[in-house]
Amino acid sequence: MSFLDSTQYKNWYFTSDSLSKKRESTYSNALLSIQKNREIKKKIPTSEECELVIQYWASRIITYCEKYYKFPEKVGLTSSIFLKRFYLNCSPIEHFPSKYILSIIFLACKAEDQLIESSKLIPRKERGALLLRDLGKHNCNASVIKQNEIIVLENLKFNLVVYTPLRSMFGVSIDALQHDHIRQVEDLKVINKKNKQRVLTEIYTKCKKAAALASVTDCGFLYTPSQIAIAILQLVLDTFSTKLCLQIEKYLPNTFENEQIEKMFTKVEELKKEFFFIKSQLPSLPFTQEKLIKIKKAKAVFNNFEGVKTRRLKPK
């Protein structure tokens, strides 16, 4: 099945305006529901604060998958994408993320053929102290994971197929290297055949990290996996000590129909502006210092609203 025939394209691909309207509608409906069913005495988080908290948890869920559970990169990436999709159809002011993190990871494992029992996701001993602090002990049991799994599935519209940029990036990297479309910037010198495998491994390792950072943003709702892959690859190549470049104008004609090339150029250039955070370095978090401060304030509002204590966010 191609991306254009997938449920991801049909149900989770938007323009900037339609994505904003979708979020406004979801927040408004949640706000009405809360005001109707509760006596509100505390400040309700704003829609902007909701978005900041969702981005924070999208970043955290990748960390849990990679650092604690030691899952392959694709599980963390799919978990982050599921979380972002989940909160297009419901709001964190009604469904606080810490309650659903383990259920989302559980579903991502199924979607990526990394089958695991729900009980194995329960944080244990000292190594699980971070998760217990972040999620709350009451959210870390098998019955809660399975109970919330249904809620997550319904809000995902039972769409569990995810096209990530990983496969596209690997394919583009191999193809471009093989046909000498990746060259040194200074003299456009072709990479030595003996070094190609080493360069490919290093490129793909950096691209995987960049893809995880990118999944925290809205690019997955606004661009195709191949567009994301090429934009990330171009920026990652610039992080090498001997700077490399993808000769995209030579690579694309061999890969796409002529009428698609101009549109692809435009989309890739747009997308590169979104990825300011991977230009010349690959930080541990896809947030600027200014945004980290906003996230901390938003989390404080949520914690007060929900009465839940979570770990402090420290800038790195």
Domain membership flag for residue 80: yes
Query: How many whole angstroms separate alpha carbon 253 and alpha carbon 198?
Result: 27
* 125/205 same-domain check: no
Look at residue 106 and give its three-state secondary structure.
helix
* 155/175 same-domain check: no
- Give the CA angle between residues 193, 196, 198 to the nearest 5°: 135
Domain membership flag for residue 313: no
* 157/170 same-domain check: no
Q: Which residues pair with 246 in a beta bridge?
A: 182
* 27/42 same-domain check: yes
Q: What global pTM score does this model have? A: 0.85
Chain-centre distance of CA 244, in angstroms? 26
Contact call for residues 41 and 115 (beta carbons, < 8 A):
no
Nearest to 131, CA basis, from 302, 313, 310, 315 = 310
Nearest to 54, CA basis, from 245, 207, 176, 218 = 218
* 114/152 same-domain check: yes
Domain membership flag for residue 35: yes
CATH of the domain at 113: 1.10.472.10
Residue with token string 């009451």: 138
Domain membership flag for residue 213: yes
Domain ranges, residue 86: 3-161+285-306
Domain membership flag for residue 239: yes
Domain membership flag for residue 34: yes
Nearest to 283, CA basis, from 230, 194, 212 = 212
Q: How many CB atoms lie within 10 A of CB 303?
A: 14
* 74/177 same-domain check: no
Number of domains in the chain: 2
pLDDT score, position 12: 95
Side-chain-side CA neighbours of 182 within 13 Å: the count stands at 27
Residue with token string 């943003």: 217
Domain membership flag for residue 312: no
Q: Which residues pair with 184 in a beta bridge?
A: 244
Query: How many whole angstroms separate alpha carbon 294 and alpha carbon 315?
Result: 12
Query: How many whole angstroms separate alpha carbon 170 and alpha carbon 236?
Result: 13
* 139/169 same-domain check: no
* 143/170 same-domain check: no
Query: How many whole angstroms separate alpha carbon 140 and alpha carbon 127?
Result: 14
Contact call for residues 272 and 233 (beta carbons, < 8 A):
no
* 142/20 same-domain check: yes
Domain membership flag for residue 316: no
Amino acid (one-letter) located at 74:
K
Amino acid (one-letter) located at 8:
Q
pLDDT score, position 185: 65
* 271/218 same-domain check: yes
**Own/partner pairs, 265-272, CB within 8 angstroms, 24+ separation:** 267/223, 267/224, 267/227, 268/227, 268/230, 268/231, 268/234, 270/223, 271/219, 271/223, 271/227, 271/228, 271/231, 272/231, 272/234, 272/235
* 224/256 same-domain check: yes
Structure tokens at 51: 């978005």
Backbone angles phi, psi at 178, to 5 degrees: -60, -35
**Residues 6 or more apart in contact with residue 194 via CB below 8 angstroms:** none
* 17/150 same-domain check: yes
Per-residue pLDDT of the chain (316 residues; tens, 9 = 90+): 688 888 999 999 999 999 999 999 999 998 888 877 666 667 788 999 999 999 999 999 998 998 889 999 999 999 999 999 999 999 998 898 999 999 999 999 999 999 899 888 888 766 677 788 888 878 888 889 999 999 999 999 999 989 988 888 888 888 777 777 777 766 556 677 777 788 888 888 888 888 888 888 888 999 888 888 888 888 788 777 666 777 766 666 555 565 566 676 777 777 777 665 555 455 455 666 677 788 888 888 877 776 533 333 344 3
